[in-house]
Structure 1
Amino acid sequence: MTTLGSGSGIIPLTESPARFRDLFASEWIKTRSLRSTPWTIGLTVLFVVGSAAVATSADKAAGSGHADFRPFDAYPAAGFWTLMLVAGSMGALTVVSEYSSGLIRTTTVAVPARGSVVLAKAAVTAALWTAVGTAASTGSFLVSQAILNERHAGVPITHPGVLRALVASALLAPVCALIGLGLGVLLRHGAATMVTSVFTLLMLPPMFSEGDRWSADINHAMVSAAWKRLVQNWEPGPGSLGYTATVPGSWIVYALWPLITIALALLVVRRRDV
């Protein structure tokens, strides 16, 4: 608190707490000022869309003229696993880079409400990567269908399963970015955060099959498994082997992972000295 003298006496002046929109603007400036950000995003979207074009062109069945939605032509695993990896890493870097450079001390001095800072970072990350995911998802669908239309095998966006796959693939990026951000706050170390993010998002799910119920339950609780289920446009029959995730359950997985990691980050950051 500071004071200001006047003819009638001393008037106390207090600094008002930073508004959330000011924190959001500050975090957006930090993100935008990194020269690597637009290059990383641009190359990632280009790779994801390019992988959809390659997968569609390589699909020999596409020449049959049968109009059906092929989700792993429009959304090939290689492209969207790359999107998961980059989004998770970039989300983590929004926090880890400040810890490694020491800028986090300046941030906490300027804004003692550390939870608000984390929420502002999360809001910027979610907005940015939702836009990136939307561009990658829409571009992948449009490119793949343009190729299929040459063989009279394309489908419109109103085709069953298309819109769900489009939305699920678009939201995959912000979900992974927020998970990476939460892990960055929890671990505060670049290498440890990257390894944990890659292990959690990409390496852990294949370790659990759908042959046993307990193993299938763990697999279905992973983000990559939820994405695979959401982009499928078929329902398993009663005689199918193993256990299959449900569509509502997969949407719940999408929601819980970022919510839990950010909630843990808020809990931890308020208890730490820095």
Structure 2
Amino acid sequence: MAATQVIRSEWTKIRSVASTVWTLSLAVVVTIGLGILISALSKSEYDNLSQESQVSFDPTYTSFAGMSLGQLAMIVFGVLVVSNEYSTGMIRTSLAAVPQRGTLLSSKVAVAAALALVVGMVTSFITFFLGQAMLGDLSASIGDPGVLRAVIGGGLYMTLIAMFSMGIATMLRSPMLSLGILMPFFFLISNILGAVSATKTVGQYLPDQAGSKIMQVVTPVNDDTPYGPWGGLAIMVAWVAAALLGGYVLLKRRDA
């Protein structure tokens, strides 16, 4: 089967499954809604902050506060795109139709990543503008240094989260096992490693902590991170590449 036909097939699969559509919609709603709420709360509490906190206040990054929960939906989306076929047994049909497993996986990732990128970029820009509206005189402009990079980076971050999840789901095949590992990893283990001084150096190189640097415009006080926004994104890309490569290797070596 030609690559273009495989891509069209994967697009049909994704849009025909209600759960994947709902998870993307949830990512948009949660990210924007929490971004608006936290931006409004930050505006009302700004005068109560210490002088140090006011100096390091980042209006752009504040508007992306909902990204921490929005990425949850992107993780679920990435897992479902892959593991739905395993849970229903459709993977056997897919592999029979497309024996070239690399073509099947790359087409699936390309279609899902393109969809996640569109959703991520739209979400990121809307979140930024509505968040800045809530911040009022504390707001940043899209033309300010580093702001456009951060907003575009927000969309890239959401896309990479989905792609990383696809790689993990390809390796594990089970939706429950994949989510059972990814959820604690991003929402518990990563935060603990990043907060504890003894493990902070390790935490800085985890995909979410490194990737989120791209959304920062103002460097926090006492931030000793050894890389900048683009360096952090490069680290996240490396994690994504490793996950997808691992998924490809295991897909090639084992039966459906």
- % identical aligned pairs: 26
Native 8 Å contact 1:84 1:201 kept in 2: no
Q: CA deviation at 1:71?
A: 3.0
Cross-structure match for 1:115: 102
Q: Secondary structure at the match of 1:51?
A: helix
1:71 — aligned with what? 60
Checking the alignment, whether the CA contact within 8 Å between 1:87 and 1:176 is kept in structure 2 is: yes
Task: For residue 69 of structure 1, report the CA deviation from its aligned partner.
Answer: 4.6
Alpha carbons 2:105, 2:248 under 8 Å: kept: yes
Residue 151 of structure 2 corresponds to residue 166 of structure 1: yes
- RMSD of aligned alpha carbons: 2.4
| Residues 190 and 159 of structure 1, relative CA distance in 2, 3 Å threshold | same
Task: Mark the structure with the bigger radius of gyration.
Answer: 1
Please tell me whether residue 265 in structure 1 is matched to residue 251 in structure 2.
no
Q: Tell me by how many angstroms 1:208 deviates.
A: 1.7
Q: 1:176 to 1:209 in 2, by over 3 A?
A: closer
Cα gap change, 1:44 to 1:251, in 2 (>3 Å): closer
- Is residue 46 of structure 1 aligned with residue 29 of structure 2? yes
| 1:147 Cα offset (Å) | 2.5
* Alignment-derived partner of residue 190 in structure 1: 175
Which segments of 5 or more consecutive residues in structure 1 lack a partner in the other structure? 1-17
Q: CA offsets, 1:71-118, max 9 Å, x none?
A: 343111xx2122221111111111211111110111111111111111
- Quick check: 1:69–1:162 contact (8 Å CA) kept in 2? no
CA distance in 1, matches of 2:12, 2:30: 26
After superposition, the Cα gap between the structure-2 partners of 1:89 and 1:245, relative to the gap in structure 1 and judged at 3 Å, is farther
Q: Does 1:256 align with 2:245?
A: no
Contact 2:6–2:107, Cα closer than 8 Å, also in 1: yes
**Contact 1:95–1:188 (Cα < 8 Å) also in 2:** yes
Task: Give 1:63 shift.
Answer: 7.8
Q: Which has the higher helix share?
A: 2
CA distance in 2, matches of 1:19, 1:139: 37
- Larger mean CA deviation between 22-31 and 170-179 belongs to 170-179
Distance 1:162 1:155 in 2: 8
1:230 to 194, 209, 214: 214
2:186 maps to which of 198, 201, 204: 201
Measured in 1, the distance between the counterparts of 2:194 and 2:40 equals 30
- Please tell me the residue identity of whatever aligns with 1:177: A
Q: Residue 204 of structure 1 aligns to a residue in which SS?
A: helix
**TM superposition shift of 1:264:** 1.0
Separation in structure 2 between the aligned mates of residue 201 and residue 22 of structure 1, nearest angstrom: 35
Residue aligned with 1:192, SS: helix
1:159-203 C-alpha deviation (Å, 9 max, x unpaired): 123122212211121111111111111111121110111133332
1:31 and 1:37 in contact (8 A); partners too: yes
Task: Report the secondary structure of 1:270's partner residue.
Answer: helix
From 133, 143, 155, the equivalent of 1:146 is: 133
1:216–1:243 CA contact under 8 A, matched in 2: no
Alignment of 1:211-250 (within 5 A): 215-235=199-219, 240=222, 243-247=224-228, 248-250=230-232
Tell me the TM-score normalized by structure 2: 0.88
The answer to which of 40-49 and 181-190 deviates more is: 40-49
Task: Choose the corresponding residue for 1:88, options 75, 85, 92.
Answer: 75
In structure 1, what is the equivalent of residue 51 of structure 2?
none
Q: Quick check: 1:186–1:268 contact (8 Å CA) kept in 2?
A: yes
Gaps of 5+ in 2: 49-53
More moved, 107-116 vs 228-237? 228-237
Q: Structure 1: which amino acid aligns with 2:10? A: E
What amino acid does structure 2 have at the position aligned with 1:269? Answer: L
TM-score, normalised via structure 1 length: 0.82
